Amino acid sequence: MYSELQQKDINHHFTPFSDNKELSENGSRVITHAEGVYIYDEKGNKLLDAMAGLWCVNLGYGRKELVDVAAAQMTELPYYNLFFKTTHAPAAKLAEKITSLAPAHMNKVFFTGSGSEANDTVFRMVRRFWDLEGKPSKKTFISRENAYHGSTVIGASLGGMGYMHEQGDLPVAGIEHIEQPYYFKEVSSKAGVDLTPEEFGIQAAQSLEAKILELGEENIGAFIAEPFQGAGGVIIPPSTYWPEIKRILAKYDILLVVDEVISGFGRTGEWFASFHYDLKPDLMPIAKGLSSGYLPIGGVIVGDRVADTLINKGGDFNHGFTYSGHPVAAAVALKNIELLEAEGIVERVKNDISPYLQKRWAELADHPIVGETRGLGMVAGLELVKDKATNQRIAPDCKAGGVCRDYSMANGLIMRPCGDTMIISPPLIISHDEVDELIEKAKKTLEQTAEFYNLL
Ligand code: PXG
């Protein structure tokens, strides 16, 4: 029997990224409230949210300071736009704060309502930049297979998800994809391929150079990539990958867009993962952890090279959103960053809780159905396999991930599948005891998944 809320949902709610027919048969889980790292559902279940919502609740749930600042801002100025020569305190202060934390050559922020809008903004900025530079042929973007850059037409086109491209004839023209630096998929689980991670990292990066030579340097505007792939399955590139990408981009004068929507605001133990990989992005889309998800807000941090051209040569930039820099969302984002700073949360990730989480997560590699564990900062992934010797998958079409997720939910742990890769990205404020609980629940879940497939 459905609850009243489930019934309303089935009748009237068209749910994102779901099979709405299947949902209407089974009903959705109704989430009622949340505190710290836990969410609660209508039936009284308590779940450890090891995904921080959708990679965003960096500060954890239930922070009264964010509620208070939202109420105060709503009372003072609930809305005004940034078009037509106006601004307001939350937008101006937040832009200053973000750029104070970003790499030194990045001094401007363009605000959006989401990560997808941030990447649409990137697309328009890059094309405008090269027009203003007198190189209008430099319009093509190079991205990567299995990248995630959002769900708008441009976001989904920049992304490299086949299951999105096949719905609606994407990608749109002017966006090309190269191979991803996914060592487990391309080397560890392939018979007859014998490369070290370092060799593979160089090889994967060099597919960028091959694509540039194929299309012509004069036609390529930018390369866009997540520092590590999030929604693709927490894919962490080998150490050789980014240095080689940097070398290639410099050689051909192609802009670098580092999509920090997931990786920004402390997730890797740095304010931005660009510091971790020593990247100097021209543009950096952000969202999610910017407000810890408490209100929708995103943006693009703009490097000096692009900003100087757009601002000094460009006149009007005919782009923006009704909710660009929304005052309430911006005030909450500013407070969120102030709390991350005041409580030393990014340093704590780096020096304490990430090393602990990664040490404990690595224990899962001992399990007979785990082919690999990997992680960086506060993200981690593991690969479900039938046989550790060959790393072959358990079931056709990577169905074991869904089975594992269902056991995990039943055990009170939100861990999510990307095919047969199980991933986590918990709130940055998770305690040692809560990490222990996460690992114990993950171990039990793996055991049940192995039993389900008779693999013990
Ligand atoms: N870039 C990256 C790297 C992202 O991960 C976006 C852009 C788009 O942001 P918005 O705010 O428009 O959603 C994202 C979003 C998943 C999942 O299942 C991941 C995202 C969104 C929804 C689901 O892992 N990432």
CATH of the domain at 293: 3.40.640.10
Number of domains in the chain: 2
Q: Answer yes or no: is the C-beta of 181 below 6 A from any ligand 1 atom.
A: no
Residue 26 covered by a domain: no
Residue 204 covered by a domain: yes
Together in a domain, 370 and 356: yes
Regarding predicted confidence, which is higher, 26 or 9?
9
Residue 72 covered by a domain: no
Among 303, 327, 342, residue at a domain's last position: 342
Beta-sheet strand order (sheet of 370-376): 370-376, 379-384, 421-424, 416-418
CA of 230 to the centre of ligand 1 (A): 8
Residue 193 covered by a domain: yes
Together in a domain, 133 and 179: yes
Among 309, 342, 375, residue at a domain's last position: 342
CA of 54 to the centre of ligand 1 (A): 7
Residue 358 covered by a domain: yes
Residue with tokens 């690999």: 372
DSSP code of 295?
A: S
What value does the mean pLDDT take over residues 430-442? 98
Question: With pLDDT > 90 as the criterion, what percentage of the chain qualifies?
Answer: 97
Using most ligand atoms within 8 A of CB, pick from 286, 288, 292 the residue to mutate for ligand 1. Answer: 288
φ, ψ of residue 225 in degrees (nearest 5): -155, 150
Q: In the prediction, which pLDDT does 432 show?
A: 98
pLDDT tens-digit map of 139-180: 999 999 999 999 999 999 999 999 999 999 999 999 999 999
Q: Are 221 and 142 in contact (CB under 8 A)?
A: no
pLDDT value at 322 more than 90? yes
Q: Are 231 and 256 in contact (CB under 8 A)?
A: no
Among 311, 342, 373, residue at a domain's last position: 342
What value does the mean pLDDT take over residues 51-66? 98
pLDDT value at 456 more than 90? no
CA of 109 to the centre of ligand 1 (A): 19
φ, ψ of residue 24 in degrees (nearest 5): -70, -15
Together in a domain, 326 and 357: no
The overall average pLDDT reported for the chain is: 97
Q: Answer yes or no: is the C-beta of 195 below 6 A from any ligand 1 atom.
A: no
Segment holding 448, helix H or strand E = helix 432-452
CA angle 399, 400, 404 (to 5 degrees): 130
Which atom of ligand 1 is nearest the CA belonging to 51? 24
Together in a domain, 234 and 330: yes
Together in a domain, 288 and 415: no
φ, ψ of residue 406 in degrees (nearest 5): -65, -40
Question: With pLDDT > 70 as the criterion, what percentage of the chain qualifies?
Answer: 100
The enclosing domain of 422 has a CATH number of 3.90.1150.10
Q: In the prediction, which pLDDT does 158 show?
A: 98
Together in a domain, 138 and 272: yes
**Cα–Cα nearest to 139, from 1, 11, 255:** 255
Residue 448 covered by a domain: yes
**How far is it, in rounded angstroms, from Cα 332 to Cα 407?**
36
Q: Which residues constitute the domain of residue 127?
A: 77-342
Together in a domain, 200 and 212: yes
Residue 255 covered by a domain: yes
CA of 137 to the centre of ligand 1 (A): 30
Together in a domain, 154 and 174: yes
What value does the mean pLDDT take over residues 356-372? 98
Q: Are 425 and 267 in contact (CB under 8 A)?
A: yes
Q: Answer yes or no: is the C-beta of 150 below 6 A from any ligand 1 atom.
A: yes
Q: In the prediction, which pLDDT does 24 show?
A: 87
Together in a domain, 357 and 335: no
Q: Answer yes or no: is the C-beta of 264 below 6 A from any ligand 1 atom.
A: no
Q: Whole-structure pTM over 0.95, yes or no?
A: yes
Q: How far is CA 67 from CA 54, 63, 115, 332, in A?
A: 20, 7, 22, 8
Together in a domain, 144 and 214: yes
Q: In the prediction, which pLDDT does 152 show?
A: 98
Residue 27 covered by a domain: no
pLDDT value at 239 more than 90? yes
Q: In the prediction, which pLDDT does 396 show?
A: 83
Q: In the prediction, which pLDDT does 17 show?
A: 94
Using pLDDT thresholds of 50, 70 and 90, give the confidence band for residue 26. confident
Together in a domain, 319 and 398: no
CA angle 239, 121, 136 (to 5 degrees): 90
Using most ligand atoms within 8 A of CB, pick from 17, 18, 51, 54 the residue to mutate for ligand 1. Answer: 54
**Cα–Cα nearest to 237, from 376, 389, 120:** 376
**How far is it, in rounded angstroms, from Cα 164 to Cα 156?**
7
Together in a domain, 356 and 327: no
